[in-house]
């Protein structure tokens, strides 16, 4: 068993162990849940030791730690895992955020066993999506994330949890069934029939342009719902707001990345002509996501909803970077995935912290908390600054790279998208002002600062945010060679739009 299989299936082992713990024993349940997530994270860190970022293959897709054996020979389906500079950082992000979510969720008191069971199962699906190199396997893992998430939102969520859960399920499934048809179309169009992403990418020349466009659209439906790209974003605010804090972190931090990752890994490498055809639309969608997402966030009075809409805005930056099809744009998009995971993950946790105490998330219900809970105020402000793109913090680097990459190609839309940054700054600053500054709202005089559990779940994310902001090459070096190779994969791209 290779290390990637280990990382993928360790949480499953944890989930199975959980089944044998009596449900009254909440301490043991939590210990196993957090322990399994932590162990997975530590094992995933081991992959860094054997990972060689500079490794590249002539055709641009150099996979490492590959595991490949026949799974369903009748359809030539393989169990095929591997990582490169694109997927490895996201895998690490996934395992890290799972630990944070598991630690934070230790305050859950009802049906603890089921909670950790579904959470660990969810981690299996998420990790699997990022490491699988066979489209069938990819699809299986993709769908595997649906069911646990449905239960996590539906059982432990907010007031409208049932509606949010089924809406999430149906939206995502609606997109992904078209992806399934796209996968089948690729399978039958390839010769010999194959589900292997790498083989399909090598034989992309065999697919006609119209075929590529149609299949691209089928895949795009699946990915766009997950990103979420306008107009498929309506499930997101609902699901993010209704989900319990730990699950919101996973939703925003990891599940959204599945869409962007899929666009790069599948659509771009296998269907370049379709991708090229779609670029003008992609950049418009990116623009809408950025500005519309920011404006929606601005209009919210609920902190969690505001953070949720800001995710739509941030994913817009990633799409903008991807529309650039240049090394800079791609590294901007990839870095944006990581930084958004860290920053927005931390934001959701911090919103959860105050909600647990005040039982409200209304921005205007607070005031003057800065002196009352200094630690919380400091962390929250820092994270907000990171999210609005303050230089010196991680968010700035990735957003800057996205704009830098996109500007030479899409001057108009890139310039217009800058408005998004302005609005983002506006609503985050307004929130900081209303919550932390001004006179103390006496209602909250007895508010306590963050406890150890909350600090343990938030601090790693904050530390990484600062670290990547000051020293971005720490992570960029890991992904850049791969992304550069990816961007140069199709020298002919852009003939149309340029």
Partner 1 sequence: MENLSLLLPEIALSGFALLLMLADVWIPPKHGRVLFHLALLAAAAGLGLLGLCASNPAAYQGVGTLWTVDPLSVFFKILVLASAVLVLLLSVDAKRQDEHHLGTYSGLILLASAGMMLLVSAVDLVMVFLALELISISSFVLTGFERGDQRSSEGAIKYFLFGAFSTAVMVFGLSLFYGATGTTHLLKPVPQYSYATSTMFLLSCLLMLVGFGFKVSMAPFHFWVPDAYEAAPTPVTTFLSIAPKVAGLAMLLRVFTRLIPHPALELSALFSFLAMLTMTVGNLTALFQTNVKRLLAYSSIAQAGYMLIGFVTADALGREGVLLYSLVYLFMNTGAFAVAIAVGNEEGYGLEGFDGLAQRNFGLALVMAFFLLSLAGIPPMAGFVGKFTLFAAAVQGGFYGLAVVAVLNSVVSVYYYMLIAYRMFFVPPRTERPVAPGLYLFSGLALAAIAVLVIGVYPEPVLSVVKISAEMLP
Nearer to partner 1 among residue 173 and residue 456 (C-beta)? 173
| Among positions 24, 50, 69, 74, the unique one binding partner 1 when judged by CB under 8 A | 74
DSSP 80: E
Query: Does 16 contact partner 1 by CB under 8 A?
Result: no
User: Which 421-460 positions form the footprint of partner 1 (CB under 8 A)?
Assistant: none
The residues, ordered by sequence, that sit 6+ positions from 463 with a Cβ below 8 Å of its Cβ are: none
Helix (H) or strand (E) holding 141: helix 135-144
Exposed/middle/buried for residue 302 (C-beta within 10 Å: 0-12, 13-18, 19+): middle
The answer to whether residues 187 and 194 touch, using CB atoms and an 8 Å cutoff, is yes
- The span of 136-144, 247-255, 378-386, 433-441 binding partner 1 (CB under 8 A) equals 136-144
How near is the Cβ of 189 to partner 1 at its closest, in Å? 10
281: its two tokens: 């639309």
How near is the Cβ of 4 to partner 1 at its closest, in Å? 18
| Among positions 66, 143, 355, 404, the unique one binding partner 1 when judged by CB under 8 A | 143
Provide DSSP, 148-192. Answer: HHHHHHHHH--TTHHHHHHHHHHHHHHHHHHHHHHHHHHHHHSSS
CA distance 174 to 171: 5
How near is the Cβ of 73 to partner 1 at its closest, in Å? 6
Q: At what angle do helices 146-156 and 135-144 cross, to 10 degrees?
A: 10
The answer to whether residues 13 and 36 touch, using CB atoms and an 8 Å cutoff, is yes
Tallying the residues shown for the chain, one arrives at 498
How near is the Cβ of 83 to partner 1 at its closest, in Å? 22
How near is the Cβ of 361 to partner 1 at its closest, in Å? 23
Query: Does 166 contact partner 1 by CB under 8 A?
Result: yes
How near is the Cβ of 282 to partner 1 at its closest, in Å? 23
- The span of 161-169, 323-331, 345-353, 437-445 binding partner 1 (CB under 8 A) equals 161-169
Query: Phi, psi (5° rounding) for residue 191?
Result: -135, 115
429: its two tokens: 């600053």
Binding mask 176-195 for partner 1 (x = CB under 8 A): -xx-xx--xx-xx-------
Query: Does 12 contact partner 1 by CB under 8 A?
Result: no
| Among positions 78, 80, 161, 304, the unique one binding partner 1 when judged by CB under 8 A | 161
* Binding positions for partner 1, rule: CB under 8 A: 71-75, 114, 136, 139-140, 143-144, 146-147, 150-151, 154-155, 161-162, 165-166, 169-170, 173-174, 177-178, 180-181, 184-185, 187-188
């Amino acid at each position: 068993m290779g290390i990637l299989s280990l990382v993928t299936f360790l949480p499953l082992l944890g989930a199975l162990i959980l089944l044998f713990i009596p449900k009254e024993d909440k301490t043991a349940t939590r210990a196993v849940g957090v322990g399994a997530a932590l162990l997975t994270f530590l094992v995933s860190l081991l992959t860094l030791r054997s990972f060689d970022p500079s490794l590249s293959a002539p055709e641009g897709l150099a996979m490492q730690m590959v595991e490949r054996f026949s799974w369903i020979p009748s359809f030539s389906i393989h169990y095929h895992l591997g990582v490169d500079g694109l997927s490895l950082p996201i895998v690490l992000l996934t395992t890290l955020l799972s630990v944070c979510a598991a630690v934070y969720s230790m305050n859950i008191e009802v049906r603890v066993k089921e909670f950790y069971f579904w959470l660990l199962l969810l981690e299996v699906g998420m990790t699997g999506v990022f490491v699988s190199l066979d489209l069938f396997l990819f699809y299986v893992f993709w769908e595997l994330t649906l069911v646990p998430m449905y239960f996590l939102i539906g059982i432990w969520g907010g007031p409208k949890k049932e509606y949010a859960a089924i809406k999430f399920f149906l939206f995502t499934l609606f997109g992904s069934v078209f992806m399934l048809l796209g996968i089948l179309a690729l399978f039958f169009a390839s010769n010999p029939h194959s589900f292997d992403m790498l083989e399909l990418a090598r034989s992309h020349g065999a697919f006609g342009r119209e075929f590529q466009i149609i299949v691209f659209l089928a895949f795009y439906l699946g990915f766009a719902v997950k990103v979420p790209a306008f107009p498929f974003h309506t499930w997101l605010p609902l699901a993010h707001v209704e989900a319990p804090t730990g699950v919101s972190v996973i939703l925003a931090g990891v599940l959204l990345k599945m869409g962007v990752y899929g666009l790069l890994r599948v659509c771009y490498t296998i269907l370049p002509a379709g991708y090229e055809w779609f670029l003008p639309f992609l950049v418009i969608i990116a623009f809408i996501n950025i500005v519309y997402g920011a404006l929606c966030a601005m209009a919210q009075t609920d902190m969690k909803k505001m953070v949720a809409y800001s995710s739509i805005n941030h994913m817009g930056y990633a799409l903008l970077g991807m529309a650039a099809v240049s090394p800079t744009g791609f590294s901007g998009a990839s870095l944006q995935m990581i930084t958004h995971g860290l920053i927005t993950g931390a934001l959701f946790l911090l919103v959860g912290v105050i909600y647990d105490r005040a039982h409200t998330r209304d921005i205007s219900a607070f005031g003057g908390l800065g002196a009352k809970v200094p630690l919380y105020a400091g962390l929250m402000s820092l994270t907000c600054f990171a999210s609005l793109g303050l230089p010196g913090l991680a968010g700035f680097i990735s957003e800057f790279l996205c704009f830098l990459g996109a500007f030479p190609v899409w001057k108009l839309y890139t310039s217009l998208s800058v408005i998004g940054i302005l609005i983002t700054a506006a609503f985050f600053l307004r929130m900081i002002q209303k919550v932390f500054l001004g006179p103390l709202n006496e209602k909250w005089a007895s508010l306590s600062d963050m406890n150890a559990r909350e600090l343990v779940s938030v601090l790693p994310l904050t530390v990484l945010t600062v670290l990547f902001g000051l020293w971005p090459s720490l992570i960029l070096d890991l992904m850049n060679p791969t992304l550069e190779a990816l961007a140069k994969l199709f020298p002919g791209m852009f003939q149309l739009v340029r």
